[in-house]
Amino acid sequence: MARLISLVIGAGFVFVLALALFFTAKDAIQNPAPESAEHEFHLHPEDIHLSSAGFFGKFDRQQLQRGFQVYKEVCAACHSLKYVSFRDLEHIGYSEAEVKAIANQWVIEQPTVNPETGEAATRKNLPSDRFPLPFANDIAARAANNNAIPPDLSLMTKARHDGSNYVHALITGYRNQPAELIEKFPGAKTPPGLHYNPYFANLNIAMPPPLTSDGQVTYSDGTKATKDQMARDVSAFLTWTAEPNLEARHAAGFAAVIFLLIFVYLAWGAYQNVWRDIKH
């Protein structure tokens, strides 16, 4: 009897779920969601083919250093790298002495407390320090950025779909709002203080274009600093900050595949050896 009751209850649940699925699908067909500017005019980033992409991807150290230079001279005024330490820069080709110099000369110093007076103070950065925050708190960040808080960039390429390509597209994607969009969706006109960017989720972003002209950064290795090149380089650098162990992960994955292939071959050979005299 108990088993019969449980079967009836289970069947009831299945029936209710089937009804819910049916009416949900019916409503979606009969009353489709209204068109939106975000859905129609949002663009997806193109592949910029970074050297770190793909199964065998590796970082280009020179590009990472150029990307760090772009971050330092363009992005660091607003965006933090709170999960990255200065000494991590040794992994992209900087020497220990260069890292010490970068940390010591960084514009923003580390907050501390004066041991004699107990008052707030600052000190020079050390290689073991993480990159300091550009603003003291969220209130200061909002006050300096049109009431928007600039996001931390440490993990940005992991936090966004197709992150490396997204960063490049976002940086280079600023343009005038198309007249067709305003005609079709009058209420979607970019508000004052925001900037139209079709690669941003809601098309309007508070951050002004960070790269305004070619040559905005002078690369130490002589590479021509076009806007596209600078965007590619900082995208590569932020890919590294989000996944500094990418090369080791790729190497481990490749080794695992080789091991599995060898194991399968040995297992097949053992199978053949054990069963070779068995008559079917």
Q: Give pLDDT, residue 38.
A: 76
Q: pLDDT per residue over 19-31, tens digit each?
A: 778 767 766 676 6
Q: pLDDT per residue over 221-256, tens digit each?
A: 999 999 999 999 999 999 999 999 999 999 999 899
Q: Give pLDDT, residue 27.
A: 67
Q: Give pLDDT, residue 32.
A: 59
Q: Give pLDDT, residue 30.
A: 63
CA–CA separation, 126 vs 87, rounded Å? 9
Question: Does the annotation flag 39 for ligand binding?
Answer: no
Q: pLDDT per residue over 193-204, tens digit each?
A: 899 999 999 999
- Closest-CA residue to 217 (of 65, 59, 21): 65
Question: Does the annotation flag 78 for ligand binding?
Answer: yes
Flag whether pLDDT at 36 surpasses 70.
yes
Question: Does the annotation flag 75 for ligand binding?
Answer: yes
- Between the CA of residue 184 and those of 98, 176, 190, 199, 272, what are the distances in Å? 54, 16, 14, 19, 70
Question: Does the annotation flag 1 for ligand binding?
Answer: no
Q: Give pLDDT, residue 23.
A: 66
DSSP states of the chain: -HHHHHHHHHHHHHHHHHHHHHHHHHHHHHSPPPP-HHHHH--PPPP---TT-STT----HHHHHHHHHHIIIIITTT---TT-BGGGGGGGT--HHHHHHHHHH-SSPEEEE-TTT--EEEE---TTSBPPPSSSSHHHHHHHTTT--PPP-TTHHHHSTTHHHHHHHHHH---PPPHHHHHH-GGGPPPTT-EE-TTSTTSEESSPPS--STTSS--TT-----HHHHHHHHHHHHHHHH-TTHHHHHHHHHHHHHHHHHHHHHHHHHHHHHHTT---
CA–CA separation, 208 vs 200, rounded Å? 12
Output the pTM of the full model. 0.84
Q: pLDDT per residue over 74-110, tens digit each?
A: 999 999 999 999 999 999 999 999 999 999 999 998 8
Torsion on CA atoms 58, 232, 171, 34, rounded to nearest 10: -60
Q: Give pLDDT, residue 41.
A: 86
Q: pLDDT per residue over 132-171, tens digit each?
A: 999 989 999 999 888 899 999 999 999 999 999 999 999 9
Work out the average pLDDT over 249-276: 90
Is CATH 1.10.760.10 what the domain over 37-84+151-248 is classified as, yes or no? Answer: yes
Flag whether pLDDT at 33 surpasses 60.
no
Q: pLDDT per residue over 38-69, tens digit each?
A: 788 899 999 999 999 988 899 999 999 999 99
Q: Give pLDDT, residue 67.
A: 98
